Amino acid sequence: MPSTLLISKEIPSLQYKPSSDRFDLTWASPLSTLLGLGRAAGADFIEFFLEKVNYISCLAEDDLITSIAPRLSTGAGIRIFRGKADCYVSTNDLSFTGLKNALEKGLSILGLTLPSPNAFIPEINLEMFRDYASAKGKENWLRDSSSMQEMGDILLSANDYINKKASHVQSRRAAYFRDWQEVLVASSDGTFARDIRLTQSVGYNLLCADGANRSSIGKRAGNTSDPNFLKTWDYQTEALDVAESAGKMLYADYVESGTYPILMANQFGGVIFHEACGHLLETTQIEQKTTPFIDKKGEKIAHENLTAWDEGLSSNAFGTIDMDDEGMPAQRTLLIENGILKNFIADRAGAMKTGHPRTGSGRRQSYAYAAASRMRNTYIAPGNYTLDDLFASVDKGIYCKKMGGGSVGATGEFNFAVDEAYLVENGKITKPLKGATLIGEAKEIMNKISMCSQDLGLAAGFCGSVSGSVYVTVGQPHLKVDSITVGGR
């Protein structure tokens, strides 16, 4: 650690040689010195985020591997606060001089300059090193993951199998990626923590055609922390499910537009809650005054049968993290309890600017982005009803089994396509439907989710926002929405 007698003019002559192979304790002294330098310049808070990434994706189209795309990157992001103003700079030069130059640039943006040559540089006492990677056996994850040969072999076998099980196949794709990331966070409040993340995803997309009839169905699985994930992917079971859905939708009737009660399937059905409500509970929305829930904490914003969580702890889930990108340990955050808004999703800046406590939700795509309040594993909790109860409650409505893409406005207006839907009459599924689009507004639909079953299911997703694209989990049990506008023909 640097001496408390260190003065500014001595810094250019310092020689630090932290490990280039891994982020370890050798990084404590140079980062502590730089944090102290920033504090001496007048900054209220400084954070360093160091990152290494080893990413690869593989795509099989029909009977060929058409793309293998690797990506390696190393860099650091530096966030500096002065009062409630802050700035963010990034660099891919992790030398002491490179980090110092980036720090100086950030300070200048906030109107701060390095201290005079004879100024004392305060010592920043970093906490005892929290090394989640070593403590949880993550050091060999990258080595133990699937090779490029295994990726190609598995994806081609998957495509061959689905071709045998589906009818009227026009195109078939199997895609996989592996994203390995090592991060180190050091801040002027003493935070000093390291982690390794391994995120993987694999799935199908099947397009079938027979004359003018078309159907397209996709299904994707995601995982964190299991190097054997691809090797153990049950592509045969997944292929049967995708092929069956595509076959039913190929000759389905188009849905008639109108207002219906709907039943939504578990797992990826939770994307609507994520998009239409979850984002509105992030403190970035409070800062921008673009959420209708800005002053609703402690008030009823949803049906009394609805409870929802955001957390980073579920085993192997796509949004699971041991610590966020600001070094805060993961936790569970109760968002809504029996319809009452309990908490918002907050990062450091959000907590400073809104007063809502941090929730371990400061996340970013890479070192090129400042962390922001982002969801992790976000889902509606299981309820007290059975699946039979839900169906029995519908005289005429629509069962939305697989959700597709959609869009959400800044204040919660949304529309989502339904890839696989069925007409429900007198509590029974009667025929497949296609072309359905769900249209609504967050603050209205939350009060119309009146029944939740007990079969909570989670699904992998990707979320884009101010700090880039991050991996998240969406989820819910089967649920009933009493009425919603359904667009169709």
Q: What is the pLDDT of residue 412?
A: 80
Name, in order, each residue with C-beta under 8 angstroms of 257's C-beta and a sequence gap of 6 or more.
486, 487, 488, 489
Average pLDDT over residues 178-200: 98
302-305 long-range Cβ contacts below 8 angstroms, 24+ apart:
302/277, 302/336, 302/339, 302/341, 302/446, 302/447, 302/449, 303/339, 303/446, 303/447, 303/448, 303/449, 303/450, 304/338, 304/339, 305/338, 305/339, 305/383, 305/384, 305/449, 305/450, 305/451, 305/452
Q: Which domains does the chain have, with CATH numbers?
A: 8-54+72-136 (3.30.160), 140-182+196-252 (3.30.160.100), 258-487 (no CATH)
pLDDT tens column, 3-13: 456 788 888 87
Distance CA 162, CA 175 (A): 13
| Chain mean pLDDT for the chain | 95
Q: What is the dihedral of CA 284, 265, 296, 412, to 10 degrees?
A: 50
Taking only the tens place, the pLDDT of each residue in 252-261 is 999 999 999 9
DSSP state of 195: E
5 Cβ partners below 8 Å, 6+ apart?
120
Given a contact cutoff of 8 angstroms between Cβ atoms, the answer to whether 421 and 280 are in contact is: no
Residue in 321, 369, 335 with CA at minimum distance from that of residue 349: 369
β-bridge partners, 440: 414
Q: What is the model's pLDDT at position 5? A: 63
Half-sphere exposure of 46 (CA within 13 A, CB side): 30
* pLDDT single digits (tens) 375-396: 999 999 999 999 999 999 999 9
Q: Report pLDDT digits (tens) over 207-228.
A: 999 999 999 999 999 999 999 9
pTM of the predicted model as reported, rounded to 2 decimal places = 0.94
pLDDT of residue 1: 44
pLDDT at 314 over 90: yes
Under 8 Å between Cβ of 245 and 432: no
Residue 328 CA from chain centroid, whole number:
16
Q: How confident is the model at residue 159 (pLDDT cuts 50, 70, 90)?
A: very high
Give tens-digit pLDDT for 86-140: 999 999 999 999 999 999 999 999 999 989 888 888 889 999 999 999 999 999 9
How many Å separate Cα 119 from the centre of its chain? 44
